[in-house]
Amino acid sequence: VFDRSLLAQPATEVAPRLLGAVVRHGDVAVRLTEVEAYLGHLDPGSHAFRGQTPRNSVMFGRAGHLYTYFTYGMHVCANVVCGEEGTATAVLLRAGEVVDGVGLARERRTTSRRDTDLAQGPARLAVALGITLEHGGVDLAAGPVFLELTDAASVFETGPRTGVAGPGGGAEYPWRYWIPGEPTVSPYKRHTPKRRVTAVPAGSVS
DNA sequence: GTCGAGATTATCT
DNA sequence: GATAATCTCGACC
């Protein structure tokens, strides 16, 4: 099932409905157990908070497309674009259970020790599914990456988003959604700022 | 098991 | 030039 009108709402409405949905790419399929909502220009944690750029332009487009981005120098994360065209709301796919193509997922995720690790975390999920930056803008109804929604809403819990820096990371934005009891849900980690060694004031050397 | 640091580069200011 | 919607590994309990 693919219902684009369901996706054409704010991400906070769509996110819980994606729990239990299946993302499929070729032989590998993942059932989503954890997602996060991002609300565009209203949301300090969103890539779109400061407006449209070449990277985030897909988020401003039609709902049901895939927004991919590259971060931390080596990782790809995948989002489902939500909302009306012109808004930049989207749902980050954080974790899930590999329900098809486990063998191929294991080959791609060589560092994984247990099968619950295969898609436990947004960058791991992208690797397990073979999603790269090239899949940015793909229509999830047309493929090659597909989204299969479930009929019924899942039971879920909410909490602060993982790894979000600054104002958007606090408890005022409890926009992380997960299915309780699922072993594939990633552990919560708050954002840890990187130390810099550059800002040494002149004359401070003792 | 938990914790913290380092990796590594596209993207934006 | 600084930052980042993260992951992995090594240290330690």
For A180, the token pair is 């309780």
**Bridge partners of A98?**
A30
CB-to-strand C under 7 Å, chain A 104-163: 109, 111-112, 117, 121-125, 161-163
User: How far is Cα A47 from Cα A55, in angstroms, rounded to an integer?
Assistant: 9
Distance A59 CA to B1 C1' (A): 40
pLDDT at A203 over 80: no
* Other CB atoms within 10 A of residue A132 CB: 13
User: How far is Cα A118 from Cα A126, in angstroms, rounded to an integer?
Assistant: 10
Q: Across residues A102-112, what is the average pLDDT?
A: 96
Q: What is the pTM of this model?
A: 0.94
In chain A, beta strands by DSSP E: 22-25, 28-39, 66-71, 75-81, 89-100, 145-148, 157-159, 176-178
Write out pLDDT tens, residues A135-189: 999 999 998 999 999 998 999 999 999 999 888 998 899 999 999 999 999 998 8
Q: How many CA atoms lie within 13 A of A62 on its CB side?
A: 10
CB-to-strand C under 7 Å, chain A 41-100: 45-48, 56, 59, 67, 69, 71-75, 77, 79, 90, 92
> What's phi and psi for A115, nearest 5 deg?
-65, -25
Q: Across residues A68-86, what is the average pLDDT?
A: 97
Write out pLDDT tens, residues A15-56: 999 999 999 999 999 999 999 999 999 999 999 999 999 999
**Nearest to residue A83, comparing CAs of A12, A160, A133, A147?**
A12
Measuring CA to CA, how many Å separate A33 from each of A6, A73, A179?
A: 19, 26, 5
Q: Which nucleotide is nearest to A113 (CA to C1')?
A: C8
